[in-house]
Amino acid sequence: MENMMKKISTVLFILILMIAVNQVSGAFIKDITTTPTDIRPGDKFTITTELTGTTCGMVVRFYIGDEEFSSRYVKDCGDSVDSAEWDLDKNPLDCGVYNLKVELVDDGNVVQTEERKLPIGNVPNIEIIPPRPNPDSEIIFRFIDNETGNRIKNLNVDIYEKKSGSESKATYSTNSNGEFTFITNRVGEYRLEIHSSKYCGSTDFFVKKKLPYDGPNPSNPVVGDLISLGVPAGVGVKYIDSEGNVYPLRNVGGINFTIEKPGEYTIVMGELSTIYWSERVPINVSEKGKMQIELEPEEPVIDKPMTIRVTSGGTNIEGADVRITMPNGDKKSYETDSVGEVKFTPIVIGEYTLHIEKRKYTTIDTKFTAQSKLNVRIIPTEPIRNQDVILNVTDQFGMPVVGASITIEDNGIPLITGSSDDNGEFKFKLPEEKEYTLIVKRDNFWDFTQNLRAYGAMSLLVSADYIEVGDKISLSVVDSEGKEITAKIVVERPDGIIDSVEGNEYIPERVGEYKIDATKTNYKSVSKKIIVNPHPLTVIPEIEGDLFRIKVTSREEPIVGITVVLRAPGGEEKELTTDATGTVKYKITGDGIFTISVNSIRINGDYESKILNRQIIKAYNPLFLIIPIIFVIIFAFIFIAIIEYLHKARERSKKKKSKLSNATSKKSSLKKGQTKLSSL
């Protein structure tokens, strides 16, 4: 009985203690305000603290800076408490921003502390960018009027290093954006003071270096692991647990420590440093490393290899012991390889037990099931409404599965049911153009589920498969009954650009192959291709005297501005452009084979290119040959006449000589006769 009374007393004490704790934990400061809101030099003001929860009998203390100026007893639970009045005439405070602190105290213990900024006078809002400035880097100070929200321009400000005193001050003035830039190469604490008839205030700020550190390593330690952290010598380091307990660490240019309790911790570095900005790094210490497993495939199939992958925090775990107990009680032991994997082939249908363990990691005990696999083939793969569809069901070895339960659901309601025959087949028709759910089941097989859509049949009608650029084609879409239906029609141009067709007509603007697609919800999409050819060219070469005229037409219409390249027999090329009549002209300087290339350079894509050869033999006008012929004839006659004349003259000369010779001969004979007579 006495023991019973002790137990009851203990329980009552614990209940009273829990109630007390709940009362304390339920009391807190909800808000802090000042009256008046804007405090000017010479004003009187009070601080109002709004409380909530069970605050009866507690004390509220008020501080400005480190000075406690008021303490109030809480009479009514959850009430508001006002501080004593502060008279700035009797207790003056310089214009500036002060730290206001309010403490909620219960039985001498501080339950909660809240702090606020208390501006005295017209103190602008001062922004320091970046908020943790570094030496040798730009620091921007921005000043904003708290009442208007406008930036303050032409505001004079002094800055000096506190260690050097105000004698080292430098004066700056804000620009039109209410800003100025400050750069220093010295770390330390600085003071900024405002000098203005309208504004007042000052603020202290630090310029420090970014703290270099390395770690913690490992980043996800377990209880008892050696944790390493590299920080500059002289920088203070500590870690804090989730309850706020602080554990200082000794820094000798590097820190090694262990944590013996699992939980969430925060490593704090350089909190009191005047050289480096402090850093806070969260770290989670696990009781032991947590391993995760992945099965691939997620639904293991008998007589097919599977992979068991073991990781921790995304890192592959090598050397983990893996023990598998099969449904028949046989056991297999493995060890994960360098990528944290074990290859295993289940050979028995049923449930397998998986046990994985490794030092410093939590042990895993889990189960998985291995079954046969249903392979389902749908013929055709995209069935049309009311078309015969064959479902072929086989196992992982390709053997027909007989008696597989087949259900086709429409929005969760069974529409078609049945089972596979001796060939593993099931035939059916889908009555509407919509999406259905196919479910196939069989004992000792993994369930098979797949969405199955029945399509409506439609055809895309195109007025021509081959057209010329710029010609119009007509497009229409009809269903299986030949009725025209609306569908989305898009055309992919040769350059890859997609055109949407509005209406039933389309005009290709470029030469090439066009792909036309028609789509409609619950209908099988259809495609067609058309070839858009360039306009044909007719090239008509003509010769007029020594002028070579080339006319270019298409469909008997002259083509203006198309390029014609004429290559002469000697290799000379001449580039010409057709005029308003589609004609170019070229003066012939010789004969031979001329090559005519039309639209071969600076190509007009709307027209074909054409090359042809033309042999030119230079002809002469007989009329122009008469005069030289006449001259030749006259010359011949003259020449003959001269020859004749000379011949006759020669004959006459011969005759004269002959007569003279005869006379001489006679005369000589006479002389001879006279001589003879004389001798007688």
Cis peptide before 327 (omega within 30 of 0): no
* 573 touches 566 (CB < 8 A): yes
Do 121 and 200 form a contact (C-beta atoms < 8 A)? yes
| Residue bearing tokens 């001969």 | 665
**Amino acid at residue number 262:** P
For residue 107, what is the DSSP state? T
Q: Which of 24, 18, 33 is nearest to 56 (CA)?
A: 24
User: Rounded to whole angstroms, how far apart are CA atoms 428 and 416?
Assistant: 8
CA distance linking residue 361 with residue 358, whole number of Å: 6
The single-letter code of the amino acid at 19 is I
Give the pLDDT confidence score for residue 512 in this predicted structure: 92
Q: Where are the beta strands (DSSP E) in 162-273?
A: 170-173, 179-182, 188-195, 202-207, 214-217, 227-230, 237-241, 246-249, 255-257, 263-269
> What pLDDT score was predicted for residue 645?
77
Q: Quick one: pLDDT at residue 624?
A: 53
According to CATH, the superfamily of the domain at 375-452 is: Immunoglobulins (2.60.40.10)
Q: Which CATH architecture is the domain 458-533 placed in? A: Sandwich (2.60)
Helix, coil or strand: residue 117? strand
pLDDT at 676: 43
Q: CA-CA distance, 277 to 60, in Å (whole number)? A: 34
Q: Which CATH number fits domain 538-616: 3.40.50.720, 3.40.50.2300, 2.60.40.1940, 2.120.10.30?
A: 2.60.40.1940
CATH 2.60.40.10 segments of the chain: 2-120, 214-285, 292-370, 375-452
What pLDDT shows up at residue 583?
Answer: 94
Q: Average pLDDT by consecutive 10-residue portion of the chain (680 residues)? A: 50 47 61 87 88 85 90 80 86 83 90 88 91 95 92 94 91 95 95 89 93 91 89 93 92 88 93 93 88 95 96 93 96 96 96 92 93 96 92 96 96 95 96 94 97 92 93 92 92 94 91 94 91 93 88 92 90 90 88 90 88 78 62 78 79 66 51 41
Residue 222: name the closest of 261, 183, 169 by CA.
261
Closest CA to 193 of 96, 119, 88, 100: 96
- The residues pairing with 552 across neighbouring beta strands, listed in sequence order, are 539
pLDDT score at 625: 54
pLDDT at 621: 55
Terminal-residue alpha carbon distance, the chain: 233
Which three-class secondary structure string do you get for 265-327? EEEEECCCCCCECCEEEEEEEECCECCEEEEECCCCECCCCEEEEEEECCEECCCCEEEEECC
Task: Let me know if domain 214-285 sits in CATH 2.60.40.10.
Answer: yes
**b/e for 217-241, b at 16 or more Cβ within 10 A?**
eeebbbbebebebebbeebbbebee
Beta pairing partners, 281: 267
On the CB side of 419, how many CA atoms lie within 13 Å of its CA? 10
What CATH number does domain 292-370 carry, 2.30.42.10, 3.30.70.20, 3.30.1280.10, 2.60.40.10? Answer: 2.60.40.10
Torsion, Cα 615 617 618 619, to 10 degrees, reads -130
With a CB cutoff of 8 Å and minimum separation 6, the contacts of 549 are 541, 542, 543, 583, 584, 585, 586
Domain spanning 125-207: CATH 2.60.40.1930: yes
Residue with tokens 């960018």: 129
The reported pLDDT for the residue numbered 74 is: 87
Backbone angles phi, psi at 657, to 5 degrees: -65, -40
CA distances in angstroms from 144 to 141, 179, 292, listed in the order given? 10, 9, 53
User: Tokens representing 463?
Assistant: 């007025």
Half-sphere exposure of 586 (CA within 13 A, CB side): 26
Which CATH superfamily includes the segment(s) 2-120?
Immunoglobulins (2.60.40.10)
- Intervals of CATH 2.60.40.1930 along the chain: 125-207, 458-533
